[in-house]
Structure 1
Amino acid sequence: MHDIKVRKALDLWEQAGLIDRIKADQLARYLDEHAPSQNSGRMVKIVSVFGAVLVGLGMILFVASHWAGMSPSLRIATLFFAYAGVVGAALLSGQRGYDRVSRSL
């Protein structure tokens, strides 16, 4: 069984007399067969991170290619708004409960 908490819960229910050993084993087998895989979201995370890196690099390259033609005030405004965007995204993701994303930003 993948989830130790479930196994402990089954043991507690058995000790309390709510279920017997046979039923606990049946439940454990059922959960092993029907529980979602632990690695089911790993590929999605990898592809998402790779996509985010590519988008970020594209934005950096776009700004870098036009940097020499920008006025100093436009350069400062670009840096300020980029920083404000990252801080805003961190605050918004923190409010929505995405703590890991918020901390990483």
Structure 2
Amino acid sequence: MRWERYLERWTSAGLIDHSTADRVRDYEAAQEKSLGLRWPVLLAIGLGGLLLGAGVLLFVAAHWDALSPAERFGLVLLLVALFHLTAALTTEPFPVLSTTLHAVGTICLGAGIFLAGQIFNLQEHWPGGALGAWRLGGMGTFARLAASDPGGAVDTDVAQRRVGESHARRSC
């Protein structure tokens, strides 16, 4: 970094001693880690994930005349596996991207569930059937993210409260 050049120059000129230079290096190293991502990067990743998920849903909703139902279903399952595997591989170097890819993988899961309903002409009570299956898959992803996030960015208390309220409303 640029400031390290100045630090070396000041140390060699005798303006600061080596212990002061080490303290400055330690301080700057701590500041670099705490900065995190800036809001434009977070916004770009969030919008990119949203658009990618919408693209997957539109891809599944399109009329696939050239593909058999088995090929369509296999392709959607491959997308689910691909997004979740890529998310797992990017957890350490880029956790925000990993979370976004897990969300897109969950969107692909919903696309696969609805595609299966379309292929097999399932007549189901949608809130309890297909949407319920999608919700279970989403809760699995959420539980995985909450377990891997000791810092608490994934708010498990709010999510548990909302799931409880949803079950209470349905039982009435």
Q: Looking at both structures, which has the greater relative contact order when contacts are Cα pairs under 8 Å and sequence separation is at least 6?
A: 2
Task: Name the TM-score, length of structure 1 as normaliser.
Answer: 0.47
